[in-house]
């Protein structure tokens, strides 16, 4: 799954351009699916008197943030309406194992209430950084209700707008690996198993892509598929069978990872041990290559390099890795062009074949021209920028292929088609 970096300050997290599609019968996962980010909320225009209350609300939210980071129940209760205090104390328990380095609220809409109003609703961004993982905060949208009491304004509720935080869904457990942190709502053994596979994935990815990335993974394991969909802020139906996705969390600049690998417990549970390892290594590849991935990176290339990295050393044959493609070739249906981005759309008829074709293309480059050539081509594509006026994306790719492989797109496609024919 190749990541589309979020724009700085964006609201909800942006799903990486790929998600893990569990291939029935193959026992492994491969990936897809772009999400669109809603427009960032803007401050509502209010009367000049709005500034009189806004600093009060900002101070209340700053104190709340400090109480959450400091696990200070008394301070949290002091800023909360009495009826809401049990819920907020439960929130502290849910967050107890989350290693927060920082947390803050930023108002994104505020309208001065009319005179005499005793209740207001405000929108805010909740930014949070995790210790040893995030250089910049991941940002979520929130809706907060406040009430005016005799002692002043107090918080009544703090609810997600769109994607929730993991702690909104339940009590978070944390398992640290040597190269990862797993935060989850599931059974302890599931979290530990995920941490073990993530620890194995990082050096496997570094062996191909080097160590010019943080080399640590953050994984989230919700308890159910519905919670998985909620964390992504998507309808659950299209994501059934999707084993994992990598989310480029809103708020981080494109050069600094703020990635979360979100695992679908139900789909992941149905995978073989090899399938689980492939899924996590695939996702880890997207984390490692994020700085080199841009909106113009073809999905066949970003998905192909991730699958290529994930399957290295697996002992699987090409027919085992690409069974759907092998079946088509045997039936006389030969591929003619590399998969388009549209071929990776959720629900596309041949999305499985698109992933297999992408793996085949990248594996061909690595085998015939070398791993370093594949890595170099990927980075060249990311660094090339959007096509200049009068130049097509195909022309750019042709130029970059000639520079790295010594052959153009037409000859490369012919070699790739011949490689596919061998699967028959």
- pLDDT of 397 reads 97
Sheet bearing 29-31, strands edge to edge: 29-31, 14-22, 242-248, 259-263, 217-221, 180-184, 173-176
147-176 tens-digit pLDDT: 999 999 999 999 999 999 999 999 999 999
pLDDT in the model for residue 30: 34
Residue 254: pLDDT band (50, 70, 90) is low
Q: Cα–Cα distance between 50 and 29 in angstroms, integer?
A: 52
What is the per-residue pLDDT across 191-211, written as a single tens digit (0 to 9) for each?
Answer: 999 999 999 999 999 999 999
Q: Which residue has the higher pLDDT, 50 or 345?
A: 345
Lowest mean pLDDT among 1-15, 145-159, 356-370: 1-15
* b/e map 362-376, b = 16+ CB within 10 Å: bbbbbeebebeebbb
Side-chain-side CA neighbours of 45 within 13 Å: the count stands at 0
Q: Is the pLDDT of residue 87 over 90?
A: yes
Structural domains for the chain: 50-162 (3.10.450.50), 294-424 (no CATH)
What strand order describes the sheet that includes 152-160? 100-109, 119-130, 138-149, 152-160
Element (H, E) at 41: none
The structure's pTM equals: 0.86
On the CB side of 192, CA atoms within 13 Å amount to: 3
pLDDT digits (tens, 9 = 90+) for 7-57: 333 333 334 434 434 333 333 333 333 333 344 444 444 444 444 899 999
DSSP β-bridge partners for residue 106: 125
Please write the tens of the pLDDT for every residue from 66-80: 999 999 999 999 999
> Exposed (0-12), middle (13-18) or buried (19+): which is 16, by Cβ within 10 Å?
buried
DSSP state of 80: B
- pLDDT for 217-252, tens place per residue? 999 999 999 999 999 999 898 888 889 999 877 766
pLDDT for residue 316 is more than 90: yes
pLDDT of residue 252: 64
Q: What does pLDDT average to over the chain?
A: 88
Residue 93 neighbours by CB under 8 Å, 6+ apart: 171
- pLDDT per residue over 371-394, tens digit each? 999 999 999 999 999 988 888 999
pLDDT in tens, 261-308: 999 999 999 999 999 999 999 999 999 999 999 999 999 999 999 999
**pLDDT digit string, tens, across residues 114-129:** 888 899 999 999 999 9
Work out the average pLDDT over 69-94: 98
């Amino acid at each position: 799954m190749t990541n589309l970096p979020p724009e700085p300050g964006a609201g909800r997290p942006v799903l990486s351009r790929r998600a893990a599609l569990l291939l029935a019968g193959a026992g492994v996962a491969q990936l897809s699916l772009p999400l669109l980010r809603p427009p960032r909320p803007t401050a509502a225009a209010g009367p000049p008197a709005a500034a009189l209350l806004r600093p009060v609300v900002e101070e209340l939210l700053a104190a709340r943030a400090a109480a959450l980071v400091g696990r200070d129940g008394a301070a949290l209760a002091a800023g909360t309406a009495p009826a809401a205090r049990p819920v907020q104390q439960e929130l502290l328990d849910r967050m107890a194992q989350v290693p927060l380095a920082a947390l803050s609220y930023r108002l994104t809409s505020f309208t001065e209430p009319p005179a005499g109003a005793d209740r207001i609703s405000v929108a805010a961004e909740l930014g949070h950084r995790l210790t040893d993982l995030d250089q910049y905060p991941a940002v979520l949208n929130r809706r907060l209700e406040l009430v005016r009491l005799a002692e002043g304004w107090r918080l009544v509720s703090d609810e997600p707008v769109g994607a929730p935080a993991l702690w909104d869904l339940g009590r978070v457990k944390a398992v640290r690996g040597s190269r990862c942190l797993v935060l989850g709502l599931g059974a302890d053994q599931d979290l530990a198993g995920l941490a073990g596979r993530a620890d194995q994935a990082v050096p496997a990815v570094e062996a191909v892509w080097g160590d010019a990335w943080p080399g640590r993974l953050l994984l989230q394991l919700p308890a159910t598929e519905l919670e998985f969909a909620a964390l992504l802020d998507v309808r659950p139906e299209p994501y059934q069978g999707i084993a994992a996705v990598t989310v480029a969390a809103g708020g981080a600049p494109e050069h600094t990872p703020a990635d979360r690998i979100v695992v679908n417990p139900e789909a992941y549970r149905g995978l073989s041990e090899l399938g689980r390892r492939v899924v996590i290594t695939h996702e880890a590849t997207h984390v490692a290559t994020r700085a080199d991935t841009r909106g113009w990176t073809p999905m066949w290339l970003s998905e192909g390099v991730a699958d290529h990295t994930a399957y290295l050393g697996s002992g699987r044959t090409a027919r085992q890795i690409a069974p759907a493609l092998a079946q088509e070739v045997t039936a006389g249906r030969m591929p003619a062009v590399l998969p388009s981005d549209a071929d990776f759309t959720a629900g596309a008829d041949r999305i499985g074949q698109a992933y297999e074709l992408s793996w085949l293309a990248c594996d061909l480059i690595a085998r015939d021209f070398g791993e370093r050539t594949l890595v170099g081509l990927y980075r060249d594509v990311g660094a090339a920028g959007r096509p200049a006026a009068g130049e097509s994306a195909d022309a750019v790719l042709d130029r970059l292929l000639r520079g790295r492989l010594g052959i153009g797109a037409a000859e490369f496609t012919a070699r790739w088609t011949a490689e596919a024919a061998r699967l028959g």
